Structure 1
Amino acid sequence: MEMTGGTMSPVALFLQADIVVKSVMVGLILASVWTWTIIIAHALRIHRIGRDNARFEREFAKAEDIDRFHQERGRQNLPSARVVAAGIAEWRRSTAGAKVDKEGTRARLASIMHSAVAEEVDKLAGRLNILATVGSVAPFVGLFGTVWGIMRSFSDIAGANNTSLAVVAPGIAEALFATALGLFAAIPAVIAYNRMTHGINRMESRLSRFAESFHATLSRELEVEE
């Protein structure tokens, strides 16, 4: 087979491949599309949540009446709002009796808000495992397509009893194209996973500091309620 510019195009390489290599290529293309969908959607979501969270925390810091602020803003679909809601709910349960166990209340508040922060971080990190999986698996899937394509090329050489480059080139080109698709899917996934993990870690740190600040505020209220 003569290799021309047309037959070396990505579409031609796909059409010339056998069913196994075609399946590998289709799977890698779908993985790449899925990866980019997650990257774009997650980046927009994290940006929006980070912006709204920062606004909520600034306004919360200025609030003179926490209960009133919670009634007005506590139902917002934000990590900070849910941490506040968890803290206030535990505060009300722990201070409902005639005698308040201050140390026990402080410990329960710290525990419940720590759990709330962890739960919010788990929600934010949803689907990042898909990026990690694509980043680690896609190169090996592409490598499988490469190995299969090279095996096919050697089979063609044996069948044609001809070691000409024209015989072996199509299969090798298809094989290398499968490898390229594997890297095309894996590289963005790995970069996005690392960047997004870093962003979520920063948000977790900020949310933890907010929870600690709120815990300190409630702890001071315990000293007032003698």
Structure 2
Amino acid sequence: MLNTDATTLSPIALFLQADWVVKTVMIGLMLASVATWAVILGFLFKLGSTRRQITRFERDFWKAEDIDAFHRVESENTLPIARVFTAGVAEWRRSTAGGHVDREGTRERLATAMGSAVASEIDTLSDRLNILATVGAVAPFVGLFGTVWGIMRSFTGIAAAQNTSLAVVAPGIAEALFATALGLFAAIPAVIAYNRFSHSINRIEARLNRFADAFHATLSRQLEVEVRR
């Protein structure tokens, strides 16, 4: 038979002994922890895959001899760096389609188009990162609320029993402190993962910006050739 004595420090026992408010807090924190780990695992896969594919794309791009041919192959690619590349090619074609080419205006538009593409891709890549930030910031306070409520309930029990023995309040306080422990259990991985993933996304953003700058320089040299023609 399941032992529900709170003195065993069994998580199940502590949960079953708690009142409905503290139970609600505990369930919410456990769900937050599950959501946190789902986001963490999703980001680990997504960022790892994105970094590998960016490396592959850059290697293939700099080995390509014909940008137009390379664009035809990669035009449907949804990789962030491929979208930045596509934005640059699209703006280049629009700016050089007419008879007269404004060199400075074309350079500015190319920089703006690729810069906007980088910002858009980073926003997309960062989606759901706010879940980690929210859990990391809020979970400890939710757990603290459960603790405060449980301790208030314990002191109410003292008044009702008219007994100040520690044995009367200890189980209730243990249940209450378990809520704080759950809050920290949800918050600590969320904070660590948020900081780590933010750093990784910043590094990807830096790589996209470096690629955009290098591609911009390549198109600028091509622009000089187009104008001299």
TM-score higher than 0.5: yes
What SS class does the counterpart of residue 75 from structure 1 fall into? coil
What SS class does the counterpart of residue 99 from structure 2 fall into? coil
Identity across the alignment (%): 70
Q: What amino acid sits opposite 1:117 in the alignment?
A: V
| Structure 2: distance between partners of 1:4 and 1:206 | 55
| Structure 2: distance between partners of 1:205 and 1:3 | 52
| 1:13 equivalent in structure 2 | 14
What SS class does the counterpart of residue 115 from structure 1 fall into? helix
Is the counterpart of residue 147 in structure 1 residue 128 in structure 2?
Answer: no
Is the counterpart of residue 211 in structure 1 residue 215 in structure 2?
Answer: no
| 1:126 equivalent in structure 2 | 127
Do the aligned residues in 1 keep the contact of 2:14 with 2:178 (CA within 8 Å)? yes
| 1:82 equivalent in structure 2 | 83
| 2:115 equivalent in structure 1 | 114
| 1:180 equivalent in structure 2 | 181
Q: What amino acid sits opposite 2:172 in the alignment?
A: G
Do the aligned residues in 1 keep the contact of 2:150 with 2:173 (CA within 8 Å)? yes
Q: How far off its partner does 1:164 sit?
A: 1.0
| 1:138 equivalent in structure 2 | 139
Q: How far off its partner does 1:166 sit?
A: 1.4
> What is the RMSD computed on CA atoms of the aligned residues?
1.1
Q: 1:51-70 alignment to 2 at 5 Å?
A: 51-70=52-71
Q: What amino acid sits opposite 2:143 in the alignment?
A: G
Deviation per CA, 1:12-62: give whole Å up to 9, x if none.
Answer: 110010000000000000000000000001110110011011100111011
Q: What amino acid sits opposite 2:51 in the alignment?
A: G
Q: 1:19-58 alignment to 2 at 5 Å?
A: 19-58=20-59
Alpha-carbon spacing, 1:220–1:188, altered in 2? closer, same or farther (3 Å): same
Q: What amino acid sits opposite 2:177 in the alignment?
A: L
| Structure 2: distance between partners of 1:195 and 1:33 | 19
Q: How far off its partner does 1:170 sit?
A: 1.1
Q: 1:160-175 alignment to 2 at 5 Å?
A: 160-175=161-176
Do the aligned residues in 1 keep the contact of 2:6 with 2:17 (CA within 8 Å)? no
Q: What amino acid sits opposite 1:15 in the alignment?
A: L
Q: What amino acid sits opposite 2:50 in the alignment?
A: I
Q: TM-score, normalised by structure 2?
A: 0.96
| Structure 2: distance between partners of 1:81 and 1:217 | 16
Deviation per CA, 1:37-96: give whole Å up to 9, x if none.
Answer: 000011101100110111001110111000000101232120111011100100010001
Deviation per CA, 1:163-194: give whole Å up to 9, x if none.
Answer: 11111011100111000000000000000000
Do the aligned residues in 2 keep the contact of 1:3 with 1:166 (CA within 8 Å)? no
Q: TM-score, normalised by structure 1?
A: 0.97
Deviation beyond 6 Å, 4+ runs, structure 1: none
Do the aligned residues in 2 keep the contact of 1:28 with 1:181 (CA within 8 Å)? yes
Q: What amino acid sits opposite 2:61 in the alignment?
A: F
